[in-house]
Amino acid sequence: MISPKCINCGVKILKGNSCNIISKNKDREFICKLCSKFTKSTLRLHEVAIIPITKERFESIVQKYRVYYHPMKYTRKGGKFLAFYVTSPISAITCYGKVQKININQPLRNLPGAELFNSPYDELQKVYFLEWIKEIRHIKKKDKRTIQGTILTTLKDLKKAENIAELIKK
Question: By three-state DSSP, how is residue 127 classified?
Answer: strand
H-helix or E-strand spanning residue 158:
helix 155-160
Give the whole-angstrom CA distance, residue 108 versus residue 115: 9
Spatial CB neighbours of 52, under 8 Å, sequence gap ≥ 6: 85, 87, 146, 147, 148, 149
Average pLDDT (86-97) is 93
Average pLDDT (92-102) is 93
Give the whole-angstrom CA distance, residue 22 versus residue 18: 13
The neighbouring-strand residues paired with 12 are 5
Q: How far is CA 8 from CA 89, 90, 104, 115, 166, in A?
A: 36, 34, 12, 24, 37
H-helix or E-strand spanning residue 50:
strand 46-53
The model's pLDDT over 115-165, given as tens digits with 9 standing for 90+, comes to 888 777 778 888 899 999 999 999 998 877 777 788 899 999 999 999 998
The model's pLDDT over 20-56, given as tens digits with 9 standing for 90+, comes to 554 444 456 666 777 766 666 666 678 999 999 999 9
Give the model's pLDDT for residue 93.
95
Give the model's pLDDT for residue 86.
94
pTM equals 0.75
H-helix or E-strand spanning residue 126:
strand 124-140
Contact 125, 116 (CB under 8 A): no
